[in-house]
Amino acid sequence: MPIATVNPATGETLETFEPIAPAEIERRLAAAHAAYGRYRTTGFGERARLLGRAADLLEEDSESVARTMTTEMGKPVKAARAEAAKCVKAMRWYAEHAEELLADEHPAQADVEDSGASRAVVHYRPLGVVLAVMPWNFPLWQVVRFVAPALMAGNVGLLKHASNVPRTALYLEDLFRRAGFPEGCFQTLLVGSDAVETILRDDRVAAATLTGSEPAGRSVASVAGDEIKKTVLELGGSDPYVVLASADVERAARTAVTARVQNNGQSCIAAKRFIVHTDVYDAFRERFVAGMRELTVGDPLSEETDVGPLSSEQGRDDLEELVDDALGLGATALCGGQRPKEQERGWYYSPTVLADITPRMRIHREETFGPVATLYRVADLDEAVALANDTPFGLSSNVWTRDDADVARCVRDLQAGGVFFNGMTASHPGLPFGGIKRSGYGRELSGHGIREFCNATTVWYGPAE
């Protein structure tokens, strides 16, 4: 895939970039390694000052960077502004809380004495150069949620961003440079996927994090495993949205629309499979389908647009194949199910709700990356939980209920990295984020995330003579 900015609303190629040469990769690896040697000794106060400055600059740049993201990958510009604001919030959160999150830990005195020590302490120390392989769907947020905690922990970062968001990738490098971070602390590598293995195998790279597809995760994990290097993976999701008999159906249906089409439906944590108790199924279906039909599809730079184009022609084609396969095997399109006739250019797809889904259909097992929802009717909670778990993924889940027994059962039995009750899945810097099964492993955000790329060092002091 060429490294290029292609406007998905028109299909027009706006700018192409040459991948950096091997000699430049080597120079940047050397710069990162040298930067880590110096930066790891800085204090939390200095790191917080630099990250706070980056947050201030991003806040000032929010309108221009929002338009860059929209032009590169098609999200509505109002959503792009919200993404920039979320990044500012996360930077400031880590600048404020990192020192506390990485404070020395003191084991129980009884355990210290039993070990034969006079005292013992656990320090959190940075690992070194971390390679981040990041996707296009949240081109700012995915990077910031890695790099803010990484830099606050004393690590340095190398970014291999998706090839269709090079302008955003270069903006990020410039942002941290303008904020005053030492040279080499954060660098963008304009390279293709074929360069990742060589970079990851380099001894100067200590660890890697990847957000993206399952095949990309397998590739990075296998290389890192061969080199015995730490990885964090956040991969796909096919999140269930469970609506039980006691739910507030009006709120559940209204929120469901946003939960499905956020980011034009191209979000790992977007709700994708809507599993509804038979007692409220008809009422939910009516409201949900009506809400999906009312969405405005169009130019993502328009303030009136709810759903813009998919990020690429291939992405639109892949989604179309899943829908056509389901329709051919007996699914019913309650709305959508085709490209919108109003958009003659660009990679648009109509907001769609499919019912009568069966396990024979690919869409029952595969992730839908676009504004397409699958709707299921279930008889009881047992069937709802079984269907929710009937997926190779386990990123997050949503449950609507006002019954405490339902809550307890879902917390216990849903196979996911998160369970969100009476609301849609969202990420916050103070809450751990990640999945299980084929959605990956490890955690981002919160104290769990900042410690992923730290060496928990046990320091033991023998008894005094």
Q: Which residues are catalytic?
A: 234, 268
HSE-up of 189 (CA within 13 Å, CB side)? 31
User: Would strands 420-421 and 436-437 be described as parallel, antiparallel, or unpaired?
Assistant: unpaired
8 A C-beta contact, residue 239 and residue 398: yes
Two tokens, residue 206: 């200590």
| Residue among 75, 144, 86 at smallest CA distance from 315 | 75
| Residue among 158, 110, 169, 162 at smallest CA distance from 131 | 158
8 A C-beta contact, residue 175 and residue 78: no
HSE-up of 460 (CA within 13 Å, CB side)? 9
HSE-up of 17 (CA within 13 Å, CB side)? 22
- Per-residue DSSP letter, 432: -
Q: What is the CA radius of gyration of the chain?
A: 23
Two tokens, residue 242: 């469970």
Output b/e per residue, 265-274; b: 16+ Cβ within 10 A: bbbbbbbbbb
Q: Which stretches does DSSP call E strand in 298-441?
A: 332-335, 352-355, 372-378, 393-394, 398-400, 420-421, 436-437, 440-441
Q: How far apart are CA 465 and CA 453, in angstroms?
A: 37
- Per-residue DSSP letter, 132: E
Q: How far apart are CA 230 and CA 126, in angstroms?
A: 12
